Amino acid sequence: MEYKNYETIVFPVSPFPKPRMTQRDRWKKRPVVVKYHIYKDSMNHYANEFNYCVDNVLSLTFIIPFPKSYSKKKKKELRGMPHILRPDLDNLLKAFKDALCKEDSYVHTYDKIKKIWGDEGQIVVKKLKPIINDTTLQQY
């Protein structure tokens, strides 16, 4: 199925990976778990503000902010380039879906999901709209 038209939504939230949680995290909160819950709360806040709910086709860009220690020269070289360090992409995606979905099994297609370097942490979502024509229906 082809997807051509889309609407772009920008969540002004720095991407955060889903941590491994244990039963102990319910009563003794580790700092990484507290940060994760803050991330989830801010994602839900902006999802409500933008009236966004996760579609069954996902197209996401995670923009990872530069560390403060990076020089201006290094930032200029890396801006917009693929982010190949931790956190890994599947944990970012898992955190995104867990923050906004009670049940995420209905998501059946990942279109373009990537993580890149940027000045500010953001999550860019493209809400894809399928193009349905006679040949698309004949394929199935």
pTM of the model: 0.84
Domains of the chain, by residue range, sit at: 2-138
Q: What pLDDT does 105 receive?
A: 84
pLDDT, one tens digit per residue, over 56-102 is 888 999 999 999 999 999 999 999 999 999 999 999 999 999 999 88
pLDDT: which is higher, 72 or 20: 72
**137 pLDDT above the threshold of 90:** no
**Secondary element (H or E) of residue 72:** helix 72-78
Q: In what order do the strands lie in the sheet with 57-65?
A: 2-11, 122-131, 57-65, 109-118
Q: What pLDDT does 90 receive?
A: 92
**6 pLDDT above the threshold of 80:** no
Q: What angle do CA 40, 98, 31 make, to 5 degrees?
A: 45
Q: What pLDDT does 68 receive?
A: 94
Q: What pLDDT does 138 receive?
A: 53
Q: What pLDDT does 22 receive?
A: 81
Sign of CA dihedral 50, 42, 123, 23: negative
What is the CATH code for 2-138? Answer: 3.30.1330
